[in-house]
Amino acid sequence: MVRIGSYTLASPVILAPMAGVTDRPFRQLCRELGAGLVVSEMVTSDVSLWNTRKSRLRMDHAGEEEPRSVQIAGGDPEMLAEAARLNAEHGAQIIDINMGCPAKKVCNKAAGSALLKDEKLVSEILEAVVGAVDIPVTLKIRTGWNPENRNGVTIARIAEDAGITALAVHGRTRADAYKGNAEYDTIADIKQAISIPVFANGDITSPEKARYVMDYTGADAVMIGRGAQGRPWIFKQISHYLATGEQLPEPEDLTKYEILSRHLNALYAFYGELMGVRIARKHVNWYLGTQESGSHFRRYFNQLDQPEAQQAAIRSFILEPGQLNHLMTPAAETVL
């Protein structure tokens, strides 16, 4: 049983924060499908930038199950402390600090994983944020800033000393970006060095890999990012396998259709139809990435701009493939 402050996670399989992916509709879907914890997309610590539609949507947690974990990103201890306080007032129940993201926009301001280079600043940030709120604060890191400087164990000790309640570790350095394979030796070393819960992250895309990484690192939980794109049911599959050693079968087409259809409706409701339809394309493309014969359909789907048309298209693609040609009108076929 993994505990974060007073919260006990129902399963040791966690959805990784992903900007542009882990919005409220996707988080809610992953929770329903077995994720023990979901983490929001990062919110900048610069509160002067919060008055945009994007930031407001990122901070909308209406109807979300507990515990609601909100990730903040930035490089200044006081700004991060203030951002943590305000997010707690807006309903966050866990604050997660991003020291794992290689994104330029964040790193140009010495934030995200670039902070790992400056251990003193890491310590100041963690102490400031932990001191600012009375809810648990978690931290997400990479194993270091480049392969020659894997200081993950030092950072982990700093985190534990500062009162961080759980640590997620992506098994790559900042310099690795997303190249090569994640390595789990540093995660195992970190687990040995501290006594707060450790979440292993990086390239976990199947129940067997999750079991392997848990055993190899001794981690308390696994965190899944890209492996959940287009496959939110992966949480149930991994949780079940970790608990029983048995594989769940792939969901039936009807179940997949129902999940995807519900996901799209949630996107239209959350973002409004115009934006919801655009965001739906990305998720449907990921979903199709797991299917054969998706590429024609993808081109057809990407030019649909109405919720009803998107819904009819996924229904035909998944449940009535024979109807697809009929659905792809001559006008649409010219796009193919």
Ligand X SMILES: Cc1cc2nc3c(=O)[nH]c(=O)nc-3n(C[C@H](O)[C@H](O)[C@H](O)COP(=O)(O)O)c2cc1C
Q: Which is nearer to ligand X, 86 or 234 (CB)?
A: 234
Told to check if 227 binds ligand X by CB under 6 A, we report: yes
The active-site residue, picked from 70, 73, 94, 101, is: 101
Sole binder of ligand X in the list 2, 4, 13, 21 (CB under 6 A) = 21
Number of H helices, E strands in the chain: 15, 11
Q: Which residues in the 163-182 window bind ligand X by CB under 6 A?
A: 170
Q: What's the closest the beta carbon of residue 226 comes to ligand X, in angstroms?
A: 3
Sole binder of ligand X in the list 11, 69, 201, 311 (CB under 6 A) = 201
Which own/partner contact pairs does 22-26 have at CB distance under 8 Å and 24+ positions apart?
A: 23/57, 23/58, 23/270, 23/279, 24/57, 24/60, 24/61, 24/62, 24/64, 24/270, 25/263, 25/266, 25/267, 25/269, 25/270, 26/232, 26/263, 26/283
- Which residue in the block uniquely carries the two structure tokens 């309903």? 91
Q: Which is nearer to ligand X, 92 or 304 (CB)?
A: 92
Distance of CA 183 to the CA centre of its chain: 19
Told to check if 33 binds ligand X by CB under 6 A, we report: no
**Which residues, including other chains, have CB under 8 Å from residue 214's CB and lie 6 or more apart?**
12, 200, 222, 242
Residue least distant from ligand X (Cβ)? 225
Sole binder of ligand X in the list 23, 76, 203, 220 (CB under 6 A) = 203
Annotation says 107 is catalytic: no
Task: Look at residues 312, 294, 305, 213 and name the one whose alpha carbon lies nearest to residue 12.
Answer: 213
Told to check if 16 binds ligand X by CB under 6 A, we report: yes
Told to check if 18 binds ligand X by CB under 6 A, we report: yes
Q: Which residues bind ligand X (CB under 6 A)?
A: 16-21, 41-42, 71, 98, 100-101, 140, 170, 201-204, 224-227
Active centre residues (catalytic):
101
